[in-house]
Structure 1
Amino acid sequence: MLMFSEDKGKVKFNKPLYGMTGKYTLAEGISLPYFSSLLDIDRAINELRIAEQVPASLEAKWSLKELFQREIDEKRVRQDIVKGYLLDPKKLKFFNAITIVLMPKGADDKILDSFENDSTIPPPTIPWEGNDVEDGQWNHPNARIANFGGVQFISIGLSARLRWDENRVLAVAVDGQHRLSALRTFREDQEFGRSGSLRTHEQETKIPVLFVLLHPDAGFLNVSVQANYSIRRISRELFTDLNKNAKTVDKARELILDDKSINAQCVRTLLTESTTEDIPGLLPLSLVRWQDDFNRFDTSYYLNSLVHLNLLVSEILELKDKELRDPMDKKQVMGFIKSINDALGINGQEVKDGERPLTRYYLEDCCEDEEDPHTPFSRLPEHYLDSAVEGFIVNFRPWLLRLLLDFKPYQELLAYARQYNLIEGNFGKFQAQTSKHKNAILQQENTKDSEWNKREILIPQSAINSMKENQWAFKAIFQKAMIRLGRIIGFEVRSENKNLGNIDDFLNFLNGLYDKGILRVDASLPDHSYRLWTFIALNPGNEKIKVNRAVEDRIFSLLRLWYFGTRKIQIDTAAGEQILSNRKLLQFFAADKNRVHWPGCPEAYETLRKGFDVATLYRKDSNEITIEEKKELVRVRFSAVLAAGLPVLSQLQRGALHEQSSEYYNQDNES
């Protein structure tokens, strides 16, 4: 509610605000005073301004883009904050304090560099209205009263009172613009049913606000700029610092905290709810790297990484959100919705809110007569999240957790952790602490027992780290490729393609490779100069792991051919049919006609063939070797690598690896 002083027509002082005052004096010669208060929600909306509410001439003259560094994102305000938060009846609503700078403006509404005192305009009286006894107490002998350029600021100790003249002062947000804009949109926009008047219970809301006071009479001091400071420049600096130093929540914490993200909610279904908790069938959070934003888990005691699990979930859901470049493009949105339903619908049904399918919601609520969209659709509406997460639990979680827990190297790590009570005992409790608390605990425990840190922490951590040495199972790039193949077996075909088996078959296959040492990074390839994984995932020059999508695709392709080859040999053996040699098996999987029963194999074959077809393999200048010689070298390498993952084929005569390949080349060219 705005109040006029006795000097009507010249000034328009608002009703006093009461609160506390403080200052930042963390650098010599600098004192930045502020005033903290609680504003009724209506007052906050009426009296506080965002960049867009400052007269348009200001933007042209003073470049509000530069001053405030960003414009209001209307989509974020309407969709995320108002619709996705304020209007959600299930959500507890709370905003951090909004930061305001009181800025002087001239008669032409342009922002001034400093407050200008006009001796013809007297300061407002105390009390502010009539015989207001409580406000009259601010007329106290010990009160420090500052009147400058349309601002009246009074302090008695830490208690303070603030008013400003809206004709001469703008209260502009330098932090919290989107929150303030959302509150205004929530009240004023007819779409949300308030039409300018909040409901009775909503009017009880108090908004925390911090006012920065940039005038010497209020205690502001900055020796670096002396008396020639510019309100605009300081405001710009404050805004930049607030937004630069207010660190964005890292991905790991977002996954822990975000209740609106499909990925975040799905990831959390894979984990125990807390550290020092061990529940069969879930990844124990105590062994998951959750404290930082890294996806690697190939060192230290980690079984997995929270950020990596998020990447796995993104990969297996295959939602077309990245293709949704325009949330008002109906075709793109329908493609996105289809990907949600394909992945997260249960038994062929759509994701639902009650009995209302997602597609119907979009056509009825976001489109005009189910034709042209009038509301953007950029993410799954929050009220459909429960159904989507349930779809993940049914369609993905069972087989995904089997692979993440029952694969032999992960089993061995978990068995060790449980044997020595690492999850629920001192080790898990210690790893859950902050860095400062860890140091304090170490000092405390080592004082009582000098071997505590070594026995309880260092030895177990080193033992787990040793389990991971040279093991592909603990490389994020390998696990991602493994899970991609698991998706085909556990979700895409499920029991519809008997050739591919099930997750148990896949696990048995992986465990077989692990037992044979095939899944060691340094695994050798007998009678060949380079290691088994060279040209697939290791650099032939220095034997270092290359990490990129092309390498992941080659690992995925090799696992596919190894697993499908193993399955075909098992099927042929059970049927009493002759087992194909490695040469003929390559021919078989390269042939396009066999993709129906063995999906993706021609592509896997070609991906690997290209990986082997490089100059380093030839050990000669490309001008010194014929095309046929290159093909022969690639064939020999490819055949040997395939045989390494197929135990039955490894028992064939060694000469079969080097047999002439004219038939292979003909088939290769035809493919």
Structure 2
Amino acid sequence: MLIISNNEGKARFNKPLYGLTGTYTLSEGIALPYFLSLIEINRAIDELKIAEQIPASLDTKWSLKELFQREIDEKRVEDDIVKGYLLDPKKLKFFNAITIVLMPKGQDGKIQDTFDDSIAIEPPPIPWDGTDPEDAQWKHQDAKIANFNGVQFVSIGLSARLRWDEDRVLAVAVDGQHRLWALRTFREDQKFRGGTLRTVEQQTKIPVIFVLLHHNAGFQNVQSEADYSIRGIARELFTDLNKNAKTVDKARELILDDQSINAQCVRTLVTEKTGEDAKDRLPLSLVRWQDDSNRFDSSYYLNSLVHLDLLVSATLDLKPPRDPMEKKQVMDFIESINSSLGINEQEVEYEGRSLSKYYSEDYCDEDGEPDTPFARLPENYLESAIKGFKVNFRPWLIKLLLDFKPYRNLLLYAREHNLIEGKFGMFQAQTSKHKGIIREQEIARDSDWHKREILAHQTGIATMKEQQWAFKAIFQKAMVRLGRMVEFEYKGKDKNLGNIDNVLSFLDRLYDKGVLKVDTSLSNYPFRLWTFVAINPGNDKIKVAKAVEDRIFYLLCLWYFGSRKIEIDIANGEPILSKRKLLNFFKAEANRTQWPNCNEAYKVLYRGFDTNAFYGKDHEQLTKERKEEMVRDRFSSLLAAGLPQFDRQLSNDGVSEDEDEFDSAQES
């Protein structure tokens, strides 16, 4: 219920709320006052807001954490909370307290970072209504009265009273926004109460905690290193209150969990805010962060947040213990951490103490037996581990994710059309509800705005991705595995394998040749090039499975090995092997030390062809020798499809076309 104060035309204060006040002083130099009140359900619905009710604006840049704070899961609200809980007659209904931050609002309706003490606002009278004798008690000589920028807070001992001007202040939920929105949906939606709660329901009171972020109310903060604006503090409170609550979706966890090594590593790969571009990070404006999908082969996405997590997880290859009290499993986990994230073969450390020493001294008893579970990398060691990621993985990983030609082309298009820092990126950063509001606002001024500024570019980028393996998550994982082998396992120093720049040149050449199109044909063969490797021979559908990822990885390996060997042979003046001899060369186990696991790559890919679908309907009549010949024929042509093209003279003079079996010594 809103009451117009005696300052009519100047302020619009709500009816006073009564309750208790307290202060958190658990850190030196910090005092965080709060006010706890029981609010009638209708008042709570009317006067308390969620982040999505903050006015929409294309001018605001949002950090990752703020993006998730603003997004409401409407399906969860309606299905889980309203239908599955509030409407269940057998359920005892109870919500935890909703946490509210009073946030200053400018004349344009936008949230301000601080309360503006330079603006003088005449405080409302006490009592708020001359006919209310109970409220008159607050005009007491012992009362501490704080008036600041549209907020009036009065306390007498532990008892307190709160009002705010709704034209200048928004009461925004930083914890419990789904509960608050569920109550609003329950009351307002025509499917449920249609605007009016039943009499018995109106008796409900909602516990609400207000955080008061102004020095007049007792707020103190000596911290200066982080973001301590009103928005910054609200974001921090949201993160702290939510990260250990009900299990959140994976994308949200990646943003909120500051204790996860994976999440921390992923965040080094993307810009911190929307509308922000960088040469060495993926622009958040082009990353799919809104949901749990790992796909980025449609719409405008350069990548997906969840997919980046999968890449980081596979790249780090850590081995967390199944049993955190089993010492061998824990030691294997620590070894994997040190192997991946130690710099120059040193262990990750904190204040000079290695992780293994920390475990033996703090998690084991005097006999060296575990007495405390060790399940994840301790928080103190995260900084050292992140440094290791930035040294061992991030440089070459960012190169692959930004400089591979199809990704480079997408970024070039986005920058030429100002999609990252312009209206397109700002629009995509909005919640679904705000997108709808902004779309209607802009179309009212310019009927072609949405089609021209948003849809045209979404279609333009989507067209660039059509039938391209580069934008398939399963291919990118295989591609990154190749980069990891070259740059991490062999440190980019192996003369045969080269470095990440050689890998990029190789991938760009495949892309330019059209080999990396899903529907690429293989000359003189009935099946497409990628059939039996990654697409189904029956319906040309892409198979998504670990076995398929392995086959893509091993095919990239053989193409890369073959390309490098040809370059090396030319440089040494040696004849180039024919496609059959080159295939046999990589089949030979003797060559696996110079070309890592080349024989395993051969075996895995061979098994992909060795199927009845490949041999055809007459497969039962074919001899073993005929089947082997069919596989070798297609396999060698598949290998040749990914190798460099040389001029006619070189092909005639330098390539041995002898198709006899490779030297038996090489086969052994």
Aligned to 2:299: 300
1:516 & 1:638 partners in 2: Cα distance? 19
Aligned to 2:273: 274
State which drifts further: 621-630 or 261-270. Answer: 621-630
Instruction: Please provide the CA RMSD for this pair.
Output: 3.5
Shift of 1:21: 3.7
Post-superposition Cα deviations, 1:336-381, rounded to whole Å, max 9, x if no partner, equal 0000000000001000112110000001101112611111110000
8 Å contact from structure 2 (residues 576, 655) kept in 1:
no
State which drifts further: 378-387 or 491-500. Answer: 491-500
Residue 649 to residue 554, structure 1, CA distance change in 2 (3 Å):
farther
Aligned to 2:504: 507
Residue 98 to residue 617, structure 1, CA distance change in 2 (3 Å):
same
8 Å contact from structure 1 (residues 295, 307) kept in 2:
yes
Aligned to 1:591: 588
Report the TM-score when normalising by structure 1: 0.63
Counterpart residue type for residue 419 of structure 1? E
2:593 & 2:489 partners in 1: Cα distance? 13
Aligned to 1:646: 643
Counterpart residue type for residue 663 of structure 1? E
Of 368, 371, 384, the residue aligned with 2:381 is 384
Residue 614 to residue 472, structure 1, CA distance change in 2 (3 Å):
same
8 Å contact from structure 1 (residues 363, 370) kept in 2:
no
Indicate yes or no: 2:348 matched with 1:351: yes
8 Å contact from structure 1 (residues 562, 642) kept in 2:
yes
8 Å contact from structure 1 (residues 364, 370) kept in 2:
no
1:263 & 1:461 partners in 2: Cα distance? 30
8 Å contact from structure 1 (residues 557, 604) kept in 2:
yes
Indicate yes or no: 2:553 matched with 1:556: yes
SS at match of 1:458: helix
Indicate yes or no: 2:556 matched with 1:582: no
2:452 & 2:388 partners in 1: Cα distance? 44
Q: Percent identity?
A: 63
8 Å contact from structure 1 (residues 288, 304) kept in 2:
yes
2:592 & 2:644 partners in 1: Cα distance? 23
1:220 & 1:418 partners in 2: Cα distance? 53
Of 331, 336, 339, the residue aligned with 2:336 is 339
Residue 307 to residue 520, structure 1, CA distance change in 2 (3 Å):
same
Post-superposition Cα deviations, 1:230-257, rounded to whole Å, max 9, x if no partner, equal xxxxxxxxxxxxx9xx863211111111
Shift of 1:623: 2.0
Aligned to 1:413: 410
SS at match of 2:577: coil
Report the TM-score when normalising by structure 2: 0.64
Structure 2 portions without partners, runs of 5+ = 1-18, 22-35, 44-90, 100-133, 138-158, 161-174, 177-199, 206-241
Aligned to 1:288: 287
Q: Write the mapping of 1:26-37 to structure 2, written as runs, cut at 5 A.
A: none
Aligned to 1:663: 661
8 Å contact from structure 1 (residues 287, 303) kept in 2:
yes
Of 423, 435, 448, the residue aligned with 1:451 is 448
Indicate yes or no: 2:421 matched with 1:424: yes
Post-superposition Cα deviations, 1:180-212, rounded to whole Å, max 9, x if no partner, equal xxxxxxxxxxxxxxxxxxxxxxxxxxxxxxxxx
Indicate yes or no: 2:336 matched with 1:330: no
Structure 1 portions without partners, runs of 5+ = 1-15, 27-66, 69-95, 100-133, 138-158, 161-174, 177-215, 222-242
Residue 449 to residue 269, structure 1, CA distance change in 2 (3 Å):
same
SS at match of 1:260: coil
Aligned to 1:117: none
Post-superposition Cα deviations, 1:534-582, rounded to whole Å, max 9, x if no partner, equal 0001100111111111110000000000001100110111001111111
Indicate yes or no: 2:620 matched with 1:628: no
8 Å contact from structure 2 (residues 575, 656) kept in 1:
no
State which drifts further: 378-387 or 615-624. Answer: 615-624
Aligned to 1:395: 392
Shift of 1:495: 3.6
Residue 217 to residue 442, structure 1, CA distance change in 2 (3 Å):
closer
1:602 & 1:338 partners in 2: Cα distance? 28
State which drifts further: 495-504 or 551-560. Answer: 495-504
2:597 & 2:294 partners in 1: Cα distance? 28
Question: Larger relative CO (CA 8 A, sep 6+): 1 or 2?
Answer: 2
8 Å contact from structure 1 (residues 643, 650) kept in 2:
no
Q: Write the mapping of 1:7-22 to structure 2, written as runs, cut at 5 A.
A: 20-22=37-39
1:455 & 1:406 partners in 2: Cα distance? 28
8 Å contact from structure 1 (residues 286, 432) kept in 2:
yes
8 Å contact from structure 2 (residues 392, 488) kept in 1:
yes
SS at match of 2:541: coil
2:201 & 2:299 partners in 1: Cα distance? 57
Residue 571 to residue 217, structure 1, CA distance change in 2 (3 Å):
closer
8 Å contact from structure 2 (residues 42, 202) kept in 1:
no
Aligned to 1:179: none
State which drifts further: 17-26 or 382-391. Answer: 17-26
SS at match of 1:372: coil
SS at match of 1:638: helix
1:462 & 1:386 partners in 2: Cα distance? 41
